Amino acid sequence: MSSSEPGYLSAARYGKDLVRVARVVREGNVHHVIEYTVRVMLEGQIETSYTKADNKCVVTTDSMKNTVNVFAKTSPHVLTPELFALHLALHYVNHHDHINKAFIDILSHKWSRIPVQGKPHGWAFTRDGEEKAVIAVVADATEGKQNVKATVKSGMKDLLVLKTAGSSFEDFYKDEFTTLGEVADRLFSTSVTLDYTVPLPSSIPLTIDSITEIGKKLDFPRIFRTAKEVTLEVFATDESASVQATMYNTAQKLLRDAKEIEKVSYSYPNKHYIPVNLAPFGLDNGLGREGGAEVFHPAADPSGLITASVTRKGAGGSLPKSNL
């Protein structure tokens, strides 16, 4: 570092974003298809590319795009985004001496089989929902190439839900800024974002060769299905006292139903539906009557934004017990 420079490089990470790839796996008349948007980000001894204009340490972002395409063809794990991301992440920290950390993020776009006369079709697909699976894998070799650690987070976003009963919001804090009225019955709608951490089994060494074994021990597709089912079921059935309380109940059920999950985080925008006053038109829109209103204004903004993480006891959370 030149002593005349006022600053020093305190963080550096680079990579390729928005690498779009689709892969078909054909098993006779039954085909499988995935469509991913991948982000690859790397850290390591890359400082001189910033500070000395020396590109010798730069694994090009163009090669990252090529690597994603090659792995989409060659990786036996391509159909399971968690394992595919782990494969890519381990590749980067194993293959390059000077790369210590790899961050692989995958957005998995939904392709569901078209039902034909009640049976899922072998090779025709439809986008039957806006939700996307979101995967984030970090491989960390800062403690040595023989001692690589990795974290796997899965989840989803853009799962849109709405219920027309079973949601109230009452008895909240009031001060001179409060104008909101209490409601025993309201519409509740949100676009679910959730992510959960599944610790990798400590009994299996973290190498590329052991990814298959990890996949046998951790059924990522089943955990993902459970996360979606639990989220939808609790949303539908909970007698909601608030977004906060429903979110907490959802997270607890997910920890009960998917024992592999150590921690789950939810983010729910409260997409407000505001009953319209139709009295000027001589119409009773049921304002203030329990279960009454029928016409609402779906407000684009602002929305509430409620977030929480629930961590399995014994796994170590971020809130001290005294705060709970």
Per-residue binding string, ligand URC, 131-170, x by CB under 6 A, is: --------------------------------------x-
Q: How far is the CB of 271 from ligand URC (least distance, A)?
A: 11
Rounded Cα–Cα distance for residues 152 and 82 (Å): 7
Q: State the chain's maximal CA–CA distance in angstroms.
A: 77
Which residue in 37, 61, 151, 164 is the catalytic one?
Answer: 61
Type of residue at 166: G
Q: Is 16 a catalytic residue?
A: yes
277 is in an annotated binding site: no
69 is in an annotated binding site: no
Torsion on CA atoms 217, 222, 223, 228, rounded to nearest 10: 180
DSSP 236-302: HHS-BS-HHHHHHHHHHHHHHH-TT-SEEEEEEEE--EEEP--GGGT----TTSTT----EEE--S-
Give the one residue of 215, 221, 304, 317 binding ligand URC; rule: CB under 6 A.
304
Q: How far is the CB of 37 from ligand URC (least distance, A)?
A: 32
Please report, as residue ranges, which positions from 230 to 269 form the binding site for ligand URC (by CB under 6 A): 242-244
Q: Is 272 a catalytic residue?
A: yes
Cβ pair 39, 84 in contact under 8 A:
no
186 is in an annotated binding site: yes
Q: Which is nearer to ligand URC, 53 or 180 (CB)?
A: 180
185 is in an annotated binding site: no
Q: Is 145 a catalytic residue?
A: no
Distance of CA 144 to the CA centre of its chain: 29
Residue 75: CA atoms inside 13 Å, Cβ hemisphere, count? 25
Per CB under 6 A, residues contacting ligand URC are: 169, 180, 242-244, 270, 304
Q: Which parts are annotated binding residues for urate?
A: 61-62, 169, 186, 243-244, 270
